[in-house]
Amino acid sequence: MFERKVLSRAAAAAAIAGLAAIVPAKAEDTVKVGLILPMTGGQASTGKQIENAIKLYMQQKGDTVAGKKIEIILKDDAAIPDKTKTAAQELIVNDKVNFIAGFGVTPAALAAAPLATQAKIPEVVMAAGTSIITERSPYIVRTSFTLAQSSTIIGDWAVKNGIKKVATLTSDYAPGNDALNFFKQNFTAGGGEVVEEVKTPLANPDFAPFLQRMKDAKPDAIFVFVPAGQGGNFMKQYAERGLDKAGIKVIGPGDVTDDDLLNNMGDAVLGTVTAHLYSAAHPSQMNKDFVAAYKKAFGNRPGFMAVSGYDGIHLIYEALKKTNGDTDGTKLVEAMKGQKWESPRGPISIDPETRDIVQNIYIRKVEKVDGELYNVEFATFEAVKDLGKTKK
Partner 1 sequence: MIIKVHPLPMTSILTNLFDGVAYGMLLFVLACGLAVTLGLMNFVNLAHGAFAMAGGYVCMVLVNRMGWPFFAALPLAFVSSAAIGIVLERTLYRHLYTRSHLDQVLFTIGLTFMSVAAVDYIQGSSRVFINLPAALQGQFDLFGVGIGRYRLMIIVICGLLTIALQMVLAKTRFGSRLRAAVDDPRAASGLGINVPQVFAFTFAFGCGLAGLGGALSAEILGLDPYFPLKFMIYFLIVVTVGGSSSITGPFLASLLLGIGDVAGKYYVPKMGPFVIYTMMIVILIWRPNGLFGRTAAR
Q: Using CB under 8 A, pick the residue from 114, 242, 283, 338 that binds partner 1.
A: 242
Report if residue 206 touches partner 1, rule: CB under 8 A. yes
| Partners of residue 372 on adjacent β-strands | 369
Q: Using CB under 8 A, pick the residue from 58, 73, 132, 195 that binds partner 1.
A: 195
Report if residue 45 touches partner 1, rule: CB under 8 A. yes
Query: Do β-strands 346-350 and 357-369 pair in parallel, antiparallel, or remain unpaired?
Result: antiparallel
Report if residue 41 touches partner 1, rule: CB under 8 A. yes
Q: Using CB under 8 A, pick the residue from 28, 29, 82, 240 that binds partner 1.
A: 240
Kindly write down the DSSP assignment for every residue of 180-214, as one continuous string. HHHHHHHHHHTT-EEEEEEEE-SS-S--HHHHHHH
Stretch that binds partner 1, among 146-154, 204-212, 273-281, 326-334 (CB under 8 A): 204-212
How many Cβ atoms from other residues are within 10 Å of residue 327's Cβ?
Answer: 21
CA–CA distance, 252 with 187 (Å, rounded to integer): 12
CB neighbour list of residue 68: distance below 8 Å, 6 or more residues apart: 29, 30, 31, 320, 325, 327
Report if residue 247 touches partner 1, rule: CB under 8 A. no
Q: What is the DSSP letter of 104?
A: S
Report if residue 217 touches partner 1, rule: CB under 8 A. yes
Nearer to partner 1, 114 or 242 (CB): 242
Stretch that binds partner 1, among 102-110, 175-183, 228-236, 335-343 (CB under 8 A): 228-236
Stretch that binds partner 1, among 61-69, 133-141, 195-203, 286-294 (CB under 8 A): 195-203
Report if residue 80 touches partner 1, rule: CB under 8 A. no
| Partners of residue 368 on adjacent β-strands | 373
Q: Using CB under 8 A, pick the residue from 205, 296, 371, 392 that binds partner 1.
A: 205
CA–CA distance, 141 with 139 (Å, rounded to integer): 7
Nearer to partner 1, 66 or 195 (CB): 195
CB neighbour list of residue 145: distance below 8 Å, 6 or more residues apart: 129, 276, 277, 304, 308, 357, 359
Q: What is the DSSP letter of 267?
A: G
Residue 369's SS3 state is: strand
**Number of residues counted as binding partner 1 (CB under 8 A):** 40
Instruction: Provide the strand spans (E) within the chain.
Output: 30-37, 64-65, 68-76, 99-102, 123-125, 140-142, 165-171, 193-200, 221-225, 249-253, 273-276, 340-343, 346-350, 357-369, 372-384
- Of 28, 61, 68, the residue nearest 324 (C-alpha): 68
Kindly write down the DSSP assignment for every residue of 24-79, as one continuous string. HHHHTTEEEEEEEE--SSTTHHHHHHHHHHHHHHHHHH-SEETTEEEEEEEEE-TT
Report if residue 78 touches partner 1, rule: CB under 8 A. no
Report if residue 271 touches partner 1, rule: CB under 8 A. no
Report if residue 83 touches partner 1, rule: CB under 8 A. no
Report if residue 194 touches partner 1, rule: CB under 8 A. yes
Q: Using CB under 8 A, pick the residue from 67, 114, 209, 283 that binds partner 1.
A: 209
Q: Using CB under 8 A, pick the residue from 210, 278, 294, 374 that binds partner 1.
A: 210
Report the nearest approach of partner 1 to the CB of residue 197 (Å): 5
Report if residue 301 touches partner 1, rule: CB under 8 A. no
Report if residue 173 touches partner 1, rule: CB under 8 A. no
Nearer to partner 1, 272 or 360 (CB): 272
Nearer to partner 1, 18 or 371 (CB): 371
Residue 276's SS3 state is: strand
Query: Please, which of residues 1-40 interact with partner 1 by CB under 8 A?
Result: 40
Report if residue 229 touches partner 1, rule: CB under 8 A. yes
CA–CA distance, 39 with 48 (Å, rounded to integer): 6
Residues in contact with partner 1 by CB under 8 A are: 40-42, 44-45, 48, 194-201, 203-206, 208-210, 212-213, 216-217, 229-230, 232-233, 236-237, 239-242, 260-261, 264-266
